[in-house]
């Protein structure tokens, strides 16, 4: 009881609440701007935390993590330019909703779902941290391979109009993902002795090109004839979900949050994979109206719940085992070390207030998302009032900054430019840009885990079917791949 | 139909090139690494090629038309897209020469004009404000390294960000 009171006092005081607000708002702004990431936002905050007490410092960074994770969806929905990698899946249904004049509704869904996902994972984190962290350690190469396959199962839904083209698109994404140094044995692959290709192709520059730049090209040829902007809404204002609407879509909230929490807990999986898997599981429903990819609210709820649930999830192995659950959690872990705390089993014993304080900060930050969302969205809303020639130009300039800032390299800007053209033609011939990105994101985890497991098995793949967790994950992967076909057959009967 | 077939052939050639490179990748010394560096690329390359063949056969059978405005330079829309692709290429090329401020300002002026937006005062204000905001937000507040250009442009950029 004493610990709970102390934790409440540590978080619910004016100074800490101010820090939570600053963290959320700063994270949201950074998340919404392509070129700035959540990890960068936290790194920028780091110097300010040196003089703070440990709890205030961690609370500030965790709040920034929550805000940044949600902020990426704002530019995803409004500009079709994901501000963060986690927001890729939100683009699939968020942007179509915005085009239909439902940007406010889409943003409301995103904020509500992000908030729900954060609170869900915070509760799970508080209740079952040590147990879940140990369970996550049972994930090895075979399970990661299955996880990657579950992520790929998205293609059966995002490419529902032409499955073969979606498969070819995902293969092209996987092929692009193999460029660079092979991380298993260090062989140079498809780099043609170009130093810039040795590190591979960053999926963020591909994403900006294939989504944002290609969309601008498309709109340039259309804007004189049709309404390509979001002009139907004079002012973009968040429309928050009513409780009855949330209750109607409860399954999407829960599914997304559960997937996000589990994947967040698994070390190095992260929010982007979580949101893709959540989207894929949601989009299995072929009878949904409107269809997924055409502005279905559930297509926003699931990935948003999922990647924000991954925030709390990723804190579980970080705090209990000292293993970061995501790149951003790694930055937060570094902050712990700077402050003089070592994350791991001892931290929970020696600093019991810390875990509770983080839990409370997550919940408070989740609630403050509504305030931050309203502010950041209204600022972005002004941009959308621009005539399309100005808006399109602005989107491309933001994309250039976003691509360049990845590694301070023109090579990434060039990649963005090339994939702008590729994305344009893919769109025209009904290939799936989203599937290319999916393949590119998941390629590394799939290939590396497949090969690592075979190496562990001394050249045999039996490890995939002898490990119970692996069998479970692979079965889920196979079922998610086959479900659309199976459900069609069942319906025909 | 012809355009889509040509497009598929181009993709097919790309995949074939990829496969040829994958086959030539060195084998590993580790006997347990059955797939090696080339195994996975070969598998996905073959799947892509088979899929592409299926798509092309369907395109030939169905004979549906696809309009690509960018390739039709006689139409205004096509010309606008094509010019914008060139403008972006020029912008990307100039960034490293004249730096972020000048290249961005020039692009922000040229691109709307190429799209038929004829309000020079609005464009000038828009380009100036956007460039300034981007430099302040990214270059000064968030320390995002922006391109500086070469020689004189580089020296000048240090005065701003």
The string of pLDDT tens digits covering residues A245-254 is 888 888 889 9
Q: For residues B40 and A480, which has the higher predicted lDDT (pLDDT)?
A: B40
**Mean of the pLDDT values across residues A168-196?**
90
φ, ψ for residue A199, nearest 5 deg: -85, 5
φ, ψ for residue A301, nearest 5 deg: -60, -50
Q: For residue A66, give both structure tokens.
A: 């929550």
Hey, which of A32-41, A206-215, B87-96 has the most confident mean pLDDT?
B87-96
- Chain A neighbours among B 117-146 (CB < 8 Å)? 117, 122-123, 126, 130, 134, 137-138, 142-146
CB A55 within 8 A of CB A420: no
pLDDT one-digit tens code per residue, A254-311: 999 998 888 888 766 677 788 888 888 887 776 777 788 888 888 899 999 998 888 8
pLDDT one-digit tens code per residue, A447-465: 998 999 999 888 888 888 8
**Mean of the pLDDT values across residues A119-146?**
79
End-to-end CA distance of chain A: 59
Bond preceding residue A290 cis, omega within 30 of 0: yes
Residue A484: strand, helix, or coil: helix
End-to-end CA distance of chain B: 51
Quick one: pLDDT at residue A379? 75
Contact flag A220-B68 (C-beta cutoff 8 Å): no
φ, ψ for residue A290, nearest 5 deg: -65, 160
Q: For residue A14, give both structure tokens.
A: 């004016």
Q: In this structure, is the dihedral angle defined by the CA atoms of residues A331, A337, A340 and A342, taken in order, positive or negative? A: positive
Cα A63 from chain centroid?
Answer: 16
Quick one: pLDDT at residue A315? 81
Q: What is the radius of gyration, based on Cα positions, of chain B?
A: 24
CA–CA–CA angle A413, A229, A282 (5° rounding): 80
Q: Which helix (H) or strand (E) holds A181?
A: strand A180-181
φ, ψ for residue A189, nearest 5 deg: -120, 125
**Mean of the pLDDT values across residues A410-431?**
91
CB B113 within 8 A of CB B123: yes
Quick one: pLDDT at residue A232? 47
**Mean of the pLDDT values across residues A175-188?**
90
CB contact, 8 Å: B55 with chain A?
yes
**Mean of the pLDDT values across residues B28-42?**
86
- Chain B neighbours among A 4-23 (CB < 8 Å)? none
Contact flag B146-A404 (C-beta cutoff 8 Å): yes
CB A24 within 8 A of CB A362: no
pLDDT one-digit tens code per residue, B83-139: 999 999 999 999 889 999 999 999 999 999 998 888 899 999 999 999 999 899 888
- Chain B neighbours among A 164-203 (CB < 8 Å)? 164-165, 167-168, 171-172, 174-175, 178, 182, 184-185, 187, 189-190
pLDDT at B18 over 90: yes
Among the ranges given (A11-15, A150-154, B32-36), the one the predictor scored with the smallest mean pLDDT:
A150-154
A219 falls in which pLDDT band (50, 70, 90)?
Answer: confident
Contact flag A410-B95 (C-beta cutoff 8 Å): yes
**A377-387 burial string, b = 16+ CB within 10 Å, else e?**
beebbebbebb
ipTM topping 0.85: yes
- Does the global pTM surpass 0.95? no
pLDDT one-digit tens code per residue, A225-235: 765 555 444 56
Q: For residues A324 and A42, which has the higher predicted lDDT (pLDDT)?
A: A42
Bridge-partner residues for A189, per DSSP? A180
A485 falls in which pLDDT band (50, 70, 90)?
Answer: low
pLDDT at A350 over 60: yes
Quick one: pLDDT at residue A478? 82
Chain A CA closest to residue B94? A410
CB A460 within 8 A of CB A191: no
Tally DSSP H helices, then E strands, for chain B.
5, 0
Q: For residues A192 and B15, which has the higher predicted lDDT (pLDDT)?
A: B15
Q: Which helix (H) or strand (E) holds A343?
A: none
Select from B10, B61, B105, B111 the residue whose CB has the most chain A CBs within 10 Å, as the one to mutate to test that interface. Answer: B111
A35 falls in which pLDDT band (50, 70, 90)?
Answer: low
Hey, which of A75-84, A372-381, B42-51 has the most confident mean pLDDT?
B42-51
Residues 6+ away with beta carbon under 8 Å from A422: A209, A210, A214
CB A320 within 8 A of CB A133: yes
Q: For residue A123, give both structure tokens.
A: 């509760």
d(CA A126, CA A129): 6
CB contact, 8 Å: A276 with chain B?
no
B138 Cα to chain A: minimum distance (Å): 8
Q: Which of A40, A386, A429 sits opposite B4 (nearest CB)?
A: A429
CB contact, 8 Å: A140 with chain B?
no
A376 Cα to chain B: minimum distance (Å): 15
Q: Which of A168, A190, A225 sits opposite B21 (nearest CB)?
A: A190
**Mean of the pLDDT values across residues A379-396?**
82
Q: Which helix (H) or strand (E) holds A379?
A: helix A352-383
Going by C-alpha positions, the residue among A81, A67, A152 that lies closest to residue A110 is A67
A420 falls in which pLDDT band (50, 70, 90)?
Answer: very high
Contact flag B111-A178 (C-beta cutoff 8 Å): no
């Amino acid at each position: 009881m004493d610990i709970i009171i102390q934790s409440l006092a540590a978080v619910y005081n004016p100074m800490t609440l101010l820090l939570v607000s600053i963290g959320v708002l700063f994270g949201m702004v950074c998340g919404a701007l392509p070129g700035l990431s959540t990890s960068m936002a936290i790194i920028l905050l780091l110097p300010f935390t040196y003089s703070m007490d440990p709890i205030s410092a961690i609370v500030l960074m965790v709040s920034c993590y929550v805000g940044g994770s949600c902020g990426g969806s704002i530019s995803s929905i409004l500009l079709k330019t994901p501000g963060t990698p986690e927001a890729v899946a939100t683009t699939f249904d968020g942007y179509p909703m915005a085009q239909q004049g439902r940007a406010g509704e889409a943003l409301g869904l995103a904020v509500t779902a992000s908030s729900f996902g954060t609170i869900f994972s915070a509760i799970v984190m508080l209740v079952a941290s040590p147990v879940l962290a140990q369970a996550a350690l049972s994930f090895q190469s075979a399970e990661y391979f299955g996880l990657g396959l579950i992520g790929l199962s998205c293609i059966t839904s995002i490419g529902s109009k032409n499955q073969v083209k979606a498969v070819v698109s995902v293969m092209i994404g996987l092929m692009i993902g193999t460029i660079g140094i092979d991380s298993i044995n260090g062989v140079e692959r498809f780099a043609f002795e170009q130093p810039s290709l040795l590190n591979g192709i960053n999926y963020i520059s591909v994403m900006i090109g294939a989504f944002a730049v290609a969309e601008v090209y498309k709109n340039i040829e259309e804007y004189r004839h049709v309404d390509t902007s979001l002009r139907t809404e004079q002012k973009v204002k968040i429309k928050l979900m009513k409780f009855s609407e949330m209750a109607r879509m409860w399954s999407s909230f829960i599914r997304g949050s559960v997937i996000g929490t589990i994947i967040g807990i698994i070390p190095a999986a992260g929010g982007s994979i979580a949101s893709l898997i959540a989207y894929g599981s949601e989009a299995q429903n072929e009878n949904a109206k409107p269809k997924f990819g055409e502005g279905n609210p559930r297509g926003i709820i699931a990935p948003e719940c999922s990647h924000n649930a991954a925030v709390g999830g990723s804190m579980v192995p970080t705090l209990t085992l000292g293993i970061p659950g995501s790149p951003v959690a790694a930055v937060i872990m570094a902050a712990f070390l700077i402050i003089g705390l070592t994350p791991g089993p001892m931290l929970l014993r020696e600093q019991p207030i810390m875990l509770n304080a983080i839990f409370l900060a997550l919940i408070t930050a989740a609630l403050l998302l509504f305030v931050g969302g309203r502010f950041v969205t209204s600022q972005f809303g002004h941009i959308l009032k621009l005539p399309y020639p100005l808006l399109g130009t602005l989107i491309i300039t933001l994309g250039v900054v976003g691509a360049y800032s990845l590694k301070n390299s023109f090579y990434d800007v060039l990649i963005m430019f090339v994939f702008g053209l590729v994305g344009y033609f893919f769109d025209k011939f009904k290939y799936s840009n989203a599937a290319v990105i999916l393949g590119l994101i998941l390629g590394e985890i799939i290939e590396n885990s497949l090969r690592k497991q075979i190496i562990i098995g001394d050249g045999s793949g039996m490890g995939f079917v002898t490990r119970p967790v692996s069998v479970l994950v692979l079965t889920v992967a196979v079922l998610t791949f086959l479900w659309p076909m199976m459900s069609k057959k069942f319906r025909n009967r | 139909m012809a355009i889509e077939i040509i497009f598929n052939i181009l993709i097919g050639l790309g995949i074939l090139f990829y496969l040829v490179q994958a086959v030539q990748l060195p084998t590993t010394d580790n006997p347990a690494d059955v797939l090696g560096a080339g195994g996975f690329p070969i598998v996905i390359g073959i799947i892509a090629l088979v899929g592409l063949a299926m798509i092309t056969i369907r395109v030939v059978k169905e004979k549906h038309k696809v309009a690509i405005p960018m390739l039709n330079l006689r139409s205004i829309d096509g010309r606008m897209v094509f010019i914008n692709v060139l403008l972006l290429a020029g912008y990307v090329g100039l960034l490293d020469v004249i730096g972020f401020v000048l290249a961005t300002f020039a692009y922000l002026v040229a691109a709307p004009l190429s799209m038929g937006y004829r309000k020079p005062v609005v464009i000038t204000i828009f380009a100036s404000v956007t460039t300034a905001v981007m430099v302040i937000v990214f270059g000064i507040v968030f320390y995002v390294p922006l391109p500086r250009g070469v020689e004189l442009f580089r020296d000048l950029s240090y005065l701003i960000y």
